[in-house]
Amino acid sequence: MFREQIKVLDCTIRDGGLMNKHDFDIEFVKKVYKAISASGVDYIELGYKNSKELFSSKEYGYWKFCDDEVLKRVIDGVESKTKLSVMVDVGRVKLDDVKPSSESPVDMIRTATYVKDVDKAIHMANHFSEKGYETTINIMAISRDQGPELEEALHQIEEESAVGIVYIVDSFGALYQESVEHLVKLFKSFLRTKEVGFHGHNHQQLAFGNTIEAIIHNANYLDGTVYGLGRAAGNCPLELIIGFLKNPKFDIRPILDLISSEFIPLREKIEWGYLIPYAISGMMNEHPRAAMALRESDKKENYREFYESLTNVDVE
Amino acid sequence: MFREQIKVLDCTIRDGGLMNKHDFDIEFVKKVYKAISASGVDYIELGYKNSKELFSSKEYGYWKFCDDEVLKRVIDGVESKTKLSVMVDVGRVKLDDVKPSSESPVDMIRTATYVKDVDKAIHMANHFSEKGYETTINIMAISRDQGPELEEALHQIEEESAVGIVYIVDSFGALYQESVEHLVKLFKSFLRTKEVGFHGHNHQQLAFGNTIEAIIHNANYLDGTVYGLGRAAGNCPLELIIGFLKNPKFDIRPILDLISSEFIPLREKIEWGYLIPYAISGMMNEHPRAAMALRESDKKENYREFYESLTNVDVE
């Protein structure tokens, strides 16, 4: 009783890279790639394609730039049907740096944008489409951008872009299932020729529940990460998505092995997952950057002060 | 925009007690009681009322028995509008041990039952109602008991019992929001004169999402526990429920303080929350006892073997 159109994208290394300046070593990424490939997941996203003129390769690891040569080192010699994805942010990539898809191991380029930058995102995504890539536009911070500007942006994407998929990105982990239902229906009403995707964050432990809600309302592209690794509270755990979907092409066991051997030790080095400051950020519909800073400070368990710092702001 | 009929019940000590043989010390329980009272939560449940002829008070702590004298030590001197609840299991309490409510600090007695034992539960709950208590029947393991026997049980409860509330208890953390919607609607269709409650478990990180789903479909009694403490993956985090509900009578801050000062250290002593063996139990609709035993063993991160032990069982 599965829906064949559903595609799952693993973005463990890409979203997880936001917690360690994209500095995973190649052997680790290769283990993730092997496990994801063996599990039958449709796509894997390994990082961002950023211009080295904007970010220093001394400060950031490989997955901030995703050079084709580095990607090839990951995938070489691994049997896989999993397609390779990279993400680009509006204004952070030189278009000329991106080779035609026929010369690159990359299959899909996802352009992340705020509603206000959608014109630029359409321009970029069309450029990648012309170069032969599968393309998406991912609308970030959607919990703060639900007015007529969003509807205008969706209308424009439908009319002017060649992308196949448009993602709802709950960057702040602020959506509840009623808002997910509303957004998926809104997206589908404007995007008559495109698929809708959902990327959740787990600040309020709702990433998986919201992903199910998106499925119920016919979103067909689902993001997950192994053991939920990702910025702050992390993302929808991939293992839960795979456990939920009934498509026999998926095998959860390579992901379970990967968590046992790699992610339990990793959690000792990188802190992600449900923590009270992230829950508060989600409730308040705030970017988790203040909560992440708190967790790096000596006040990391001082929740009341943090809560009050967010609620006692003067707003005229 | 809140729904005034919604009541929140904190069962931190009762469900959490399943992880330490109900052996919290009185000072700790008093801190929880103070914080819950200050937060404006409607009910607090401190444990089970079990017969000491069946369970040894040498083996189990106070909250396995909930003697009125012990409860008085917790609540004495604390300003509180929070009502006191205890739970009883079918067949584990001597009815004569329960004093009339006018002589007891307890306000509510919740009778936990499987569908098959509903006759006994009705008999017990009616006895407690006659003694002046608020009463509920909590139907456990509901994810395994959804056939005509459940409908018959609901019909009987409506016709024969004096309870005010009937709870859906997702003991195995196996429900998704579509099953919650189905169950709440089913309960409400039979229970024309009673309220419906929801008690989730967090094996698949769905306790909060499922609680919201229950709210959407007009369940008005919601269980939560501080920082999700409870058996195995634990319960719906109380702080998330309070963050979600808009009733101004609630104050989240005493709960945040309690987590900072008491529950972060407690997590070093008792293991609860999202862990892969619990996620697997939830996916498989299994009691978490095998997963809990695994976590006590030297194979605690051997997920594949555990997964296969559940899937490779011969069933004719």
- CA-CA distance, B92 to B50, in Å (whole number)? 5
Mean pLDDT of B65-73: 97
- CA-CA distance, B294 to B308, in Å (whole number)? 13
**Between chains, do A210 and B208 touch, taking CB under 8 Å as contact?**
no
Residues 6 or more apart from B70 whose CB is under 8 A from it?
B26, B62
How many angstroms away from the CA of B146 is the closest CA of chain A? 19
Percentage of residues in chain A with pLDDT exceeding 90? 96
Chain centroid to Cα A304, Å, comes to 30
How many angstroms away from the CA of A294 is the closest CA of chain B? 13
Q: Is B262 on the interface with A (CB under 8 A)?
A: no
How many angstroms away from the CA of A249 is the closest CA of chain B? 17
- Which of chain A's residues have a Cβ under 8 Å away from the Cβ of B210? 209
**Between chains, do A264 and B208 touch, taking CB under 8 Å as contact?**
no
Alpha helices in chain A (DSSP H): 12-16, 26-39, 68-75, 118-130, 148-160, 177-190, 207-216, 238-244, 253-258, 264-266, 276-284, 289-296, 303-311
Mean pLDDT of A178-204: 98
Tens digit of each residue's pLDDT (9 = 90 or more) over A205-238: 999 999 999 999 999 999 999 999 999 999 999 9
Is there a contact between B230 and B19 (Cβ–Cβ < 8 Å)? yes
In chain A, the residue whose alpha carbon lies closest to the alpha carbon of B277 is A256
Output b/e per residue, A55-84; b: 16+ Cβ within 10 A.
Answer: beeeebbbbbbbebebbeebbeeeebebbb
- Which of chain B's residues have a Cβ under 8 Å away from the Cβ of A177? 177, 209, 212-213, 216
Fold of A7-266: TIM Barrel (3.20.20)
Phi, psi of B268 (to 5 degrees): -75, -20
B313 compared with B107, residue with greater pLDDT: B107
Tens digit of each residue's pLDDT (9 = 90 or more) over B135-194: 999 999 999 988 999 999 999 999 999 999 999 999 999 999 999 999 999 999 999 999
Is there a contact between B120 and B113 (Cβ–Cβ < 8 Å)? yes
- Cα–Cα nearest to A231, from A170, A272, A266: A272
Helix, strand and coil percent figures for chain B, each rounded to 5: 45, 15, 40
Residue B75 CA: distances (Å) to CA of B22, B81, B239: 18, 11, 22
Q: Is A141 on the interface with B (CB under 8 A)?
A: no
Tens digit of each residue's pLDDT (9 = 90 or more) over B221-268: 999 999 999 999 999 999 999 999 989 999 999 999 999 999 999 999
**Between chains, do A264 and B216 touch, taking CB under 8 Å as contact?**
no
Q: Is A271 on the interface with B (CB under 8 A)?
A: no
Residues 6 or more apart from B27 whose CB is under 8 A from it?
none
**What pLDDT does residue A303 have?**
98
- Work out the angle at residue B220's Cα, subtended by the Cα atoms of residues B215 and B223, and round it to the nearest 5 degrees: 85
Residue listed under structure tokens 């709960």: B255
Mean pLDDT (chain A) is: 96
Percentage of residues in chain B with pLDDT exceeding 70? 99
Q: Is B295 on the interface with A (CB under 8 A)?
A: no
pLDDT at B90 over 80: yes
DSSP for A55-122, please give it: S-TTTS-GGGT--HHHHHHHHTT----PEEEEEEETTSS-GGGS--GGGSS--EEEEEE-GGGHHHHH
Tens digit of each residue's pLDDT (9 = 90 or more) over A104-136: 999 999 999 999 999 999 999 999 999 999 999
Q: Is A12 on the interface with B (CB under 8 A)?
A: no
Mean pLDDT of B91-110: 96
**What pLDDT does residue A316 have?**
67
Tens digit of each residue's pLDDT (9 = 90 or more) over A251-279: 999 999 999 999 999 999 999 999 999 99
How many angstroms away from the CA of A86 is the closest CA of chain B? 28
- Which of chain A's residues have a Cβ under 8 Å away from the Cβ of B237? 205, 274, 279
Domain with CATH 3.20.20.70 in chain B: 7-266
Instruction: Pull the structure tokens for residue A283.
Output: 């409730």
pTM for this prediction? 0.97
- CA-CA distance, A291 to B295, in Å (whole number)? 31
Q: Is A177 on the interface with B (CB under 8 A)?
A: yes
- CA-CA distance, A309 to B162, in Å (whole number)? 47
Give the one of B212, B252, B283 whose C-beta lies nearest to A176's C-beta.
B212
- CA-CA distance, B146 to B130, in Å (whole number)? 30
- CA-CA distance, A23 to A45, in Å (whole number)? 15
How many angstroms away from the CA of B187 is the closest CA of chain A? 22
Q: Is A197 on the interface with B (CB under 8 A)?
A: no
Phi, psi of B28 (to 5 degrees): -60, -45
Q: Is A89 on the interface with B (CB under 8 A)?
A: no
**What pLDDT does residue A258 have?**
98
**Between chains, do A240 and B204 touch, taking CB under 8 Å as contact?**
yes
**Between chains, do B307 and A256 touch, taking CB under 8 Å as contact?**
yes
How many angstroms away from the CA of A99 is the closest CA of chain B? 40
How many angstroms away from the CA of B43 is the closest CA of chain A? 23
**What pLDDT does residue A312 have?**
81
* Confidence at A146, pLDDT banded by 50, 70, 90: confident
CB burial class (10 A; 0-12, 13-18, 19+) of residue B231?
Answer: buried
- Which DSSP symbol is given to B67? -
Residue listed under structure tokens 């993956």: B233
**Between chains, do B237 and A209 touch, taking CB under 8 Å as contact?**
no
Q: Which residues pair with B37 in a beta bridge?
A: none
Instruction: Pull the structure tokens for residue A70.
Output: 């580095």
Residues 48-67 of B with CB under 8 A from A: none
Mean pLDDT of A61-70: 97
B contact test, residue of A181, A201, A205, A298 with most B CBs within 10 A: A205
Q: Is B172 on the interface with A (CB under 8 A)?
A: no
- CA-CA distance, A188 to A138, in Å (whole number)? 14
In chain A, the residue whose alpha carbon lies closest to the alpha carbon of B303 is A256
Total Cβ atoms within 10 A of residue A136? 27
**What pLDDT does residue B316 have?**
67
